[in-house]
Structure 1
Amino acid sequence: MGETEPGVSERPLPLAGYRILSAEQYGAGPYGTMFLAQLGAEVIKVEPPPQNGKGGGDTARAVGPHFLRENESLYFQTFNLNKKSLTLNLQSEEGRAIFRKLAADAHAVANNLRGDLPARLGLTYAALKDVNPRLVCAHLSAYGRDNERAKWPGYDYLMQAEAGFLSLTGEPDGPPVRFGLSMVDFMTGTMMAVGLLAALADAERSGLGRDIDVDLLSAAAHQMSYPGLWYMNENDVTPRAPYGAHPTATPSQMFRTADGWMFVMAQLPKFWTVLVEEIGRAELAEDARFRTPADRRANRDALTAELEAVFRARPTAHWIDLLKGKMPVAPVNSLEDAMDNPFLEETGMIDHVDHPDRAGIKVLTSPIKVDGRRLPTQAGPLLGADSDAILAALGYDAEAIADLKQSGIV
């Protein structure tokens, strides 16, 4: 689990004492606030209450196919570890009044609603600064809150399509291909958390909060990075390359082996030398077609054929054992092999949490370490699990809370 300084485990987590209210749903926003919750912040997840005893809550609770109980999915656990749940109808005047009471003692408010909704629901700094001038209000939307698309709904896959990700992914002669995961959601949620933390640091210095905005399409466009700049400045359009190859470095791509695939990355000249020597083909370094990086790039197909003829003679495990630690190399794992990788257990990336409906759920814990240790992990909350305690702390007695539930406010 890593070396830890004496006594360091007794220190509070970095965000202990911070309270963050989050009107969030599905993936991007909850992914970002989960980092804050695992770093010690009290993240209160504000969810729609059930109607007539049914439904309610983050839509992620109902995403199948695997459930712990009705309306409590394993999918939901992915994004909501370490949080609290408060049911509150923000469409109602009384619900918004309760939210304002909570905001008075909070450090930040986050949401990932459609761009036109934060202002309507009173989740902006302008709407809340009178109760708490230090409050940070972080907004994650599909297209932003200040343009003609503010009312448009949007999801990760749409952003991958519009920002150009799909056009760069897949084999040259195949159709455009999306990522196998919702990477734009994850990136945007992380960016929201970074912006929120930066604004919190400023609020502590200045005594004033502010709005922080990030949107899925802007985040996706930003991630186009160097291919985007190459095109904008040099009119250079990065093409797809076979075997998932790097656009410039060669060989840096997948190769077939006797029983599967592996990824080999000879990004630097020293790794090219290691590769050809270790696989017993040192003469390739003197081949005129492959002598320099430019030569190798110009003759990528010929080099691929030479190397693949070698790699296909032995299974993936043989080549990984031969090359690991000497140059960048990895097996192309199936989902099963990736999640069963013993290295994840050894490094503490897989944790076990107890949920009211199942003990020992395996989860992927935070990739962040503090003082050499993985962060503590708790199961995501049942819908409204913390409503009574949170409302009681605001001064509502049991009868008042019961009335709020009866009226559909909570």
Structure 2
Amino acid sequence: MRPLEDVRILSLEQYGAGPFGSLHLADLGADVLKVEDPGVGGDVGRYVPPFAEGEDSLFFETFNRNKRSISLDLSNPHGRKVFEDLVRESDVVYSNLRGDVPEKIGITYEQLKHLNPAIVCCSLTGFGMTGPRAKEPGYDYILQGLAGWMSVTGDPDGPPTKSGLSLVDYSGGFVAAISILAGLHAARRDGVGGDCDLSLYDTAMGLLTYPATWHLNGGFEPVRTRNSAHPSLVPFQAFEATDGWLVVGCAKEKFWQRLVVAIDRPELAQDPRFVDFANRGRHAAELLPILEAVFATASVDHWLSKLRPAGVPTGPINDIGQALTEEHTLARGLIVDTDHPRFGTVRQVASPVRFGTQRPEYRRAPSRGEHSEDVARSLGYDDERIAELAAAGAFGTNPAEGIS
């Protein structure tokens, strides 16, 4: 069996952060059942351009492979009844909605524990379910600003800058996956579930890590650095070669000793200004121009051929295409394929989460409501009961949205 094959997750998820969290669990074998609202056309990720046609998008495929979908109107009492039947047979109710919404729609532990005392209710919201911003929507870009990320990102002479990827969203997804697994462990051990009150805001603040510790305890004020330089280790930054850029990092003294030999400047190691981390930090304005002038004399490949064999941490600054075709990317099996009726073969990156030697199997993302009938029958509903529920609007007002 796959690691999570005996786990069912009811997921009221949408867009990026929520689906990204459950994606890793689905790849590990969990039955992630997307509960999609027919009143709004399901997960908004289905419609994200530029690669979108109808209800299919490559954005949606990225975050929803290996999942199933049921169209269900929770505001309809009949749809609510189906949802409650599913809660009885599930392990987790997962959502990424605004902080005040989970309680409004009745998906907190207090509201569901009578159906299943061991249910784990995980809510990944923008700002959490408490606090002055609980009712506000939270988006990655806004949170990067609020949490101070943008103040330390970008060139010192440029404007505050967001990260190139939606790292608050994706990190929030990982936080949710970890919390779900912790909740599952506790529920199976104790027979009692509970709430996971998670937020993107908490995630962004938590990722401030050691700069926050330095500030709280020593008054440290982080600043933006030229060429993405590390705030305390010199040299550890991007250097420009004749045909591109590479990153060189001396996180240990031994790497500095190796670097100066590899670039044919061994005398730098004996210079009293550069003998250790502290001195290199104090004299960075003198050292870095020397190194920049050296790296500007040859190509990226030339320097990689010198530094990598010498054991100096280094790598090219790739574009996305180069990263996806890196030898190591392919060797690690990080590109996976699924078959899609509209897009044909869809290639995407694999989840980095792994256990054991068994490789995941990959299945395309579900069409909206694709598994509604299968799920209904798994609950013991016969044809007559399914027809009654469909007529009552449990699966949506348009038969095409739910069960035909």
Deviation by residue 1:214-242 (Cα, 9 ceiling, x = unmatched) = 10111100100111111111111121111
Q: How much does 1:159 deviate?
A: 0.7
Q: What is the alpha-carbon distance in structure 2 between the residues aligned to residue 86 and residue 370 of structure 1?
A: 29
Q: How much does 1:359 deviate?
A: 3.0
The match for 2:218 among 228, 234, 243 is 234
Q: What is the alpha-carbon distance in structure 1 between the residues aligned to residue 365 and residue 305 of structure 2?
A: 39
Q: What is the alpha-carbon distance in structure 2 between the residues aligned to residue 300 and residue 408 of structure 1?
A: 68
The match for 1:218 among 202, 217, 220 is 202
**What pairs up with 1:317-396 in 2 under 5 angstroms?**
317-324=301-308, 326-396=311-381
TM-score (norm 2): 0.94
Q: What is the alpha-carbon distance in structure 1 between the residues aligned to residue 68 and residue 298 of structure 2?
A: 51
Q: What is the alpha-carbon distance in structure 2 between the residues aligned to residue 221 and residue 371 of structure 1?
A: 32
**What pairs up with 1:11-410 in 2 under 5 angstroms?**
12-49=1-38, 51=39, 56-67=41-52, 69-324=53-308, 326-405=311-390, 407-410=392-395
Give the AA of the match of 1:30: P
Deviation by residue 1:51-88 (Cα, 9 ceiling, x = unmatched) = 5xxx6110000001002x31210001111111001111
Q: What is the alpha-carbon distance in structure 1 between the residues aligned to residue 382 and residue 70 of structure 2?
A: 16
Partner of 1:4: none
Q: How much does 1:323 deviate?
A: 1.3
Q: How much does 1:360 deviate?
A: 2.1
Give the AA of the match of 1:41: A
Q: What is the alpha-carbon distance in structure 2 between the residues aligned to residue 356 and residue 210 of structure 1?
A: 40
**8 Å CA contact 2:244, 2:300 repeated in 1:** yes
Q: Secondary structure at the match of 2:33?
A: strand
Q: What is the alpha-carbon distance in structure 2 between the residues aligned to residue 402 and residue 294 of structure 1?
A: 74
**8 Å CA contact 2:140, 2:167 repeated in 1:** yes
TM-score (norm 1): 0.93
**8 Å CA contact 2:77, 2:394 repeated in 1:** no
Q: What is the alpha-carbon distance in structure 1 between the residues aligned to residue 174 and residue 393 of structure 2?
A: 33
Q: What is the alpha-carbon distance in structure 2 between the residues aligned to residue 125 and residue 402 of structure 1?
A: 31
Q: What is the alpha-carbon distance in structure 2 between the residues aligned to residue 59 and residue 35 of structure 1?
A: 20
Q: How much does 1:397 deviate?
A: 3.2
Deviation by residue 1:131-185 (Cα, 9 ceiling, x = unmatched) = 1001111010001112232211111111100000000101111110000111011
Give the AA of the match of 1:62: Y
Q: What is the alpha-carbon distance in structure 1 between the residues aligned to residue 180 and residue 42 of structure 2?
A: 24
**8 Å CA contact 1:368, 1:374 repeated in 2:** no
Give the AA of the match of 2:153: T
Q: How much does 1:400 deviate?
A: 4.2
**8 Å CA contact 2:108, 2:121 repeated in 1:** yes
CA RMSD of aligned residues (A): 1.4
The 10-residue stretch of structure 1 (389-398 or 233-242) with the greater mean CA deviation from structure 2: 389-398
Q: How much does 1:317 deviate?
A: 1.2
Q: Secondary structure at the match of 1:289?
A: helix
**8 Å CA contact 2:78, 2:393 repeated in 1:** no
Deviation by residue 1:87-115 (Cα, 9 ceiling, x = unmatched) = 11122222221111000010111000111
Q: How much does 1:369 deviate?
A: 2.8
Q: How much does 1:373 deviate?
A: 4.3
Moved over 6 A (4+): none
Give the AA of the match of 2:19: P
Q: What is the alpha-carbon distance in structure 2 between the residues aligned to residue 170 and residue 240 of structure 1?
A: 6
Q: What residue ranges of structure 1 are gaps of 5+ in the alignment?
A: 1-11
Q: How much does 1:318 deviate?
A: 1.3
Give the AA of the match of 2:120: V
Q: Secondary structure at the match of 1:324?
A: helix
Q: What is the alpha-carbon distance in structure 2 between the residues aligned to residue 202 and residue 296 of structure 1?
A: 49
Q: What is the alpha-carbon distance in structure 2 between the residues aligned to residue 34 and residue 216 of structure 1?
A: 17
Partner of 1:8: none
Q: What is the alpha-carbon distance in structure 1 between the residues aligned to residue 299 and residue 358 of structure 2?
A: 36
Q: How much does 1:405 deviate?
A: 4.1
Q: Secondary structure at the match of 2:221?
A: coil
Q: Secondary structure at the match of 1:195?
A: helix
Q: What is the alpha-carbon distance in structure 1 between the residues aligned to residue 16 and residue 112 of structure 2?
A: 25
Q: What is the alpha-carbon distance in structure 2 between the residues aligned to residue 91 and residue 149 of structure 1?
A: 25
Q: What is the alpha-carbon distance in structure 1 between the residues aligned to residue 225 and residue 285 of structure 2?
A: 10
Give the paired residue count: 394
**8 Å CA contact 2:35, 2:70 repeated in 1:** yes
**8 Å CA contact 2:79, 2:393 repeated in 1:** no
Q: Secondary structure at the match of 1:21?
A: strand
Q: What residue ranges of structure 2 are gaps of 5+ in the alignment?
A: 396-404
**8 Å CA contact 1:111, 1:138 repeated in 2:** yes
**8 Å CA contact 1:255, 1:311 repeated in 2:** yes
Q: How much does 1:295 deviate?
A: 1.5
Partner of 1:6: none
Q: Secondary structure at the match of 1:149?
A: coil
Q: What is the alpha-carbon distance in structure 2 between the residues aligned to residue 84 and residue 179 of structure 1?
A: 32
